Structure 1
Amino acid sequence: MANQNDLKILVTVSPDELKAFVTIYPSEDYSRVSRDEIISALQNQKVTYGIKEDVIDLCSNRPIYNEEICIAEGIPAQNGKNGSVIYHFDTSVAKSPTLLDDGRINYRELNLIQSVSQGQLLCSLEPPLMGTQGMTVRGKVIAAVNGRPAVMPRGKNVQVSEDGQKLYASTAGEVEYLDATKVSVYTNHEVPADVDNSTGNVTFVGSVIIKGNVLSGFSVEAGGNVEVYGVVEGATIRAGGNIILRRGMQGMGKGTLIAGGDIVSRYIEYCNVEAQGNIQAEAVMHSNIKCGNKLELTGRKGLLVGGTCKVGKIIVAKVIGSHMATVTDLEVGTDPTVRERYKQVKEELSSSESDIKKAEQAITILKKLEGMGALTPDKQEILTKSVRTKIYLSSRVEELKNEMVILDEKLQQEVSGKVRSLNTIYPGVKVTIGTCTMYVKETLQYCTLYRDGADIRVGAVDR
């Protein structure tokens, strides 16, 4: 504040110090303010950077009274941009079968496999951008955050270039892109007939194609996709990628499907099914379903009846339940794999912390013996192992705590799950969205069940 013959100059600085403002209050004779007086007022407030000379001229030659005018402006810091991965193959290949005009699903044209040749470029890295520091009107440097380099999603059967910026296929096969953290290339293994006593259980690092049936008691494990042309009985199929059953599965209460990607089947009966992605079928009956994203029942039947379904986002079906009020338990809104992983991490964290205490107790006792010179070679080895165990477990505990924070954030996110019926929902259906539960007591038609605050409401089918 400067005061000369009742002429007042007020200089204010914004909280982030990126702007300074001047306000001129008139004296009794409305005499003009000089450049030196304005500069002196700025200096009193330590405003030294980004001063607008034209504004000073305006204020001294043609002053505007009682109005705040921006007279200096700093430069905000510009944060850098993180590097990114550029994919040179289609990461959005459709994982849904074709719906024919008569309502049937074409299970022969699934178009799920994307082939690459040896040496084909799969990914390249976009370098990060550095940040640009800023400056306040008081001449203070504002630090900027530099962009972080992207991590090459290196999986199996791929090769990184010498400069570390490109990823190539080291073999011909099928490219897999499941969780945006790894890109792998798998070759296929074909079983020409049934999986039975003649083949035994099938285990393969790549994708598996089975031309016949998979009989009860056998298992198929693949790092890539599993495609079965025949019927799957009470068997176990595990796939790092997708599972495609061209006919279906009659699990007899002991059949299991576990996929790191999607599951597509004509029908699923009396099975335990887990998919990190989507599940699509014409009918799911009396099965326990865990699905990370979407459970969709399409085709002529579009039937979901009996059993338990835990789905991350949405369930879409024509008919849910039956006219006999078959108990059908639906839970949507939370990825079941996240909830289960949270439980596993919590248990491992508790166990690791307990083991650290045991190791510390052993180290304390053995250190005392060492101080007394009574440490035998056997006990020295135990001491060394105990120290190594403590170091490893301490590191592991930190990793688990960080993962707990991430998982907890996912679980606390707003629940937005939905259950959509394109025809009928019968009594006997129980719907849970987050912490809200609804028992269907009368037949509902062409509707969507969704959460509204603490209640589950019935809305239009296209909501």
Structure 2
Amino acid sequence: MASQSDVKISVTVSPDELKAFITLFPGEENSGVSRADIVSALQGQRIVYGIREDVIDACCSNPIYNESICVAEGLPAQNGRNGSVNYHFDTTVDKTPTVLEDGRINYRELNLIQSVKQGQLLCTVVPPVMGIQGMTVKGKPIPAVNGKPAVLPRGKNVHSSEDGQSLYASTDGEVEYLDTTKVSVYTNHEIPADVDNSTGNINFVGSVIIKGNVLSGFSVEAGGNVEIYGVVEGATIRAGGNIILRRGMQGMGKGTLIAGGDIVARYIEYSNVEAQNNIQSEAVMHSNVKCGNKLELTGRKGLLVGGTCKVGKIIVAKVIGSHMATVTDLEVGTDPTVRERYKQVKEELTSGESDVKKADQAITILKKLEGMGALTPDKQEILTKSVRTKIYLSSRLEELKREMLVLDEKLQMEVSGKVRCLNTIYPGVKVTIGTCMMYVKESLQYCTLYRDGADIRVGAVDR
């Protein structure tokens, strides 16, 4: 485009119309260029947005010829950002074992299960970011793409917040992130094979189902039930509910079963077993058994031999002991947990009373020094601590004495235990019911042992 001076101005626009350029071509007189000339040239090409006034001023005061100069810039559109989901648990399970301080690799603590509690926050939605419209140098709007909202990955046993922006667990269980689209909580955790180095120890708030064996040295802890299809070796199984062993346990002297409910197993050998309620099996051999209610050994063998059994109410078995006079110690009529707590409280009482005496002696000596005016700051601090200790211990002793009375009442009441034999009790068996004791010296058959006053009697099997 020609100007009023002899300088020619050429205006070009980039294909996306985001930049406009001018090129100055000198005339014969080289009379320079004015602002009006440049503005007029831009208007001729409909350049109205993003004009750089500083560039125009520079071209007027110090023109550069035969060179393309950017004189206007548009505004590119800014596309929005899609919404996303923030997960408040680990969505990638790392099966790499941890390396211990001494360099050994710990294959047992793999932490492959992510347990969550009811009401726990699982994930939150991050809202999308809207796009920002752009503008060409010719004043044409450039549309922007808005971000899309994220979808809450709602699966099973989860619920969303009222605003639909957060996801919570509806129950205790294992959280799983499936196919990157669903977050679910499962109350059961199933292990398709053995509990070994590939799984590590199991710790889960719900119930655990193990289709294989549990190898020695590993542990399974569950807030619910534990069901094991294979054999349990020298492992530790703890359940808040029931423990069900489809086969049995070969504990090798270190295997442990602890259940808040019942224990059901085909057989139990050389193990430590504790159930708050009942234990049912075909055979219990050379094991230490504690059971709050009933120990029942039926089925084909119905065998109870070796070890010790402390049972709250009744032991029912076909065969107790063996013809080799294997030492078998039975104690019924008292909940073993009550008896053990009684023993703990008694020991704590004795220890506490001894500590109170020591505190009294220290206070007496220090008080004498105080009366003589010979109490140093260090001894003053010891006196203060001794007085505090005595106050705390006295209060604790009162609590223990009250608990002791309650436990003592329970022990006095629960003396109605029985041992029912559906076949033979062999010599070598020791039976304790409450405070009464009896050693079986000759084989007994089809009978019930029960307490009568200060003695243990042998009665009919269905008594």
Give the TM-score taking structure 1 as reference length: 0.55
Q: Distance in 2 between matches of 1:324 and 1:360?
A: 57
Change (3 A) 1:370 1:193: farther
Residues 76-118 of structure 1: per-residue CA shift (max 9 Å, x gap): xxxxxxxxxxxxxxxxxxxxxxxxxxxxxxxxxxxxxxxxx97
Q: CA deviation at 1:335?
A: 2.0
Amino acid at match of 2:438: M
Equivalent position of 1:279 in the other structure: 279
> Which stretch of structure 1 is more off in the superposition, 187-196 or 359-368?
359-368
Equivalent position of 1:47 in the other structure: none
Q: Distance in 2 between matches of 1:226 and 1:386?
A: 49
Equivalent position of 2:201 in the other structure: 201
Equivalent position of 1:415 in the other structure: 415
Give the conservation status (yes or no) of the 8 Å contact 1:241–1:262: yes
Equivalent position of 1:311 in the other structure: 311
Equivalent position of 2:440 in the other structure: 440
Equivalent position of 1:254 in the other structure: 254
Q: Distance in 2 between matches of 1:229 and 1:299?
A: 19
- Asked if residue 214 in structure 1 is aligned to residue 214 in structure 2, the reply is yes
Larger radius of gyration: 2
* Superposition map of 1:117-128 within 5 A: none
For 2:427, what is the secondary structure of its paired residue?
coil
Q: CA deviation at 1:244?
A: 2.1
- Asked if residue 425 in structure 1 is aligned to residue 429 in structure 2, the reply is no
Q: CA deviation at 1:234?
A: 1.1
Equivalent position of 1:453 in the other structure: 453
Q: CA deviation at 1:232?
A: 0.9
Q: Unaligned 5+ residue runs, structure 2?
A: 1-116, 120-168, 174-185
Change (3 A) 1:118 1:290: closer
Q: Distance in 2 between matches of 1:248 and 1:285?
A: 11
Change (3 A) 1:381 1:243: farther
Q: CA deviation at 1:302?
A: 1.6
- Asked if residue 230 in structure 1 is aligned to residue 230 in structure 2, the reply is yes
Equivalent position of 1:84 in the other structure: none
Q: Percent identity?
A: 89
Amino acid at match of 2:404: M
Q: Distance in 2 between matches of 1:257 and 1:250?
A: 11
> Which stretch of structure 1 is more off in the superposition, 350-359 or 296-305?
350-359
Give the conservation status (yes or no) of the 8 Å contact 1:173–1:188: no
- Asked if residue 172 in structure 1 is aligned to residue 171 in structure 2, the reply is yes
Q: Distance in 2 between matches of 1:191 and 1:356?
A: 53
Equivalent position of 1:160 in the other structure: none
* Superposition map of 1:52-91 within 5 A: none
Give the conservation status (yes or no) of the 8 Å contact 1:450–1:458: yes
Q: CA deviation at 1:204?
A: 4.1
Give me the CA root mean square deviation.
Answer: 3.2
Amino acid at match of 1:394: S
Q: Distance in 2 between matches of 1:224 and 1:267?
A: 22
Equivalent position of 1:328 in the other structure: 328
Q: Distance in 1 between matches of 2:386 and 2:263?
A: 45
Give the conservation status (yes or no) of the 8 Å contact 1:275–1:292: yes
Q: CA deviation at 1:359?
A: 3.6
Q: Distance in 1 between matches of 2:368 and 2:204?
A: 52
Give the conservation status (yes or no) of the 8 Å contact 2:172–2:205: no
- Asked if residue 288 in structure 1 is aligned to residue 288 in structure 2, the reply is yes
For 1:334, what is the secondary structure of its paired residue?
coil
Give the conservation status (yes or no) of the 8 Å contact 2:224–2:240: yes
Q: CA deviation at 1:402?
A: 0.5
Residues 282-329 of structure 1: per-residue CA shift (max 9 Å, x gap): 111121212221100122222212222121211011222234433322
Q: Distance in 2 between matches of 1:244 and 1:383?
A: 57
Give the conservation status (yes or no) of the 8 Å contact 2:297–2:318: yes
Change (3 A) 1:333 1:216: same
Query: How many matched pairs?
Result: 286
> Which stretch of structure 1 is more off in the superposition, 336-345 or 429-438?
429-438
For 2:462, what is the secondary structure of its paired residue?
coil
Amino acid at match of 2:214: V
Amino acid at match of 1:172: T
Change (3 A) 1:318 1:335: same
Residues 134-162 of structure 1: per-residue CA shift (max 9 Å, x gap): xxxxxxxxxxxxxxxxxxxxxxxxxxxxx
Equivalent position of 1:74 in the other structure: none
Q: CA deviation at 1:279?
A: 0.9
Q: Unaligned 5+ residue runs, structure 1?
A: 1-116, 120-169, 175-185
Q: Distance in 1 between matches of 2:409 and 2:222?
A: 32
Q: Distance in 1 between matches of 2:297 and 2:239?
A: 21
For 1:266, what is the secondary structure of its paired residue?
strand
Equivalent position of 2:396 in the other structure: 396
Change (3 A) 1:221 1:348: farther
Change (3 A) 1:366 1:208: farther
* Superposition map of 1:176-191 within 5 A: 187-191=187-191
Give the conservation status (yes or no) of the 8 Å contact 1:278–1:295: yes
Equivalent position of 1:343 in the other structure: 343
Change (3 A) 1:415 1:382: same
Give the TM-score taking structure 2 as reference length: 0.55
Q: CA deviation at 1:387?
A: 4.2
Change (3 A) 1:223 1:381: farther
For 2:341, what is the secondary structure of its paired residue?
helix
Give the conservation status (yes or no) of the 8 Å contact 2:366–2:375: no
* Superposition map of 1:346-385 within 5 A: 346-363=346-363, 372=373, 375-376=376-377, 382=382, 385=385
Amino acid at match of 1:390: K
Q: Distance in 2 between matches of 1:268 and 1:354?
A: 43
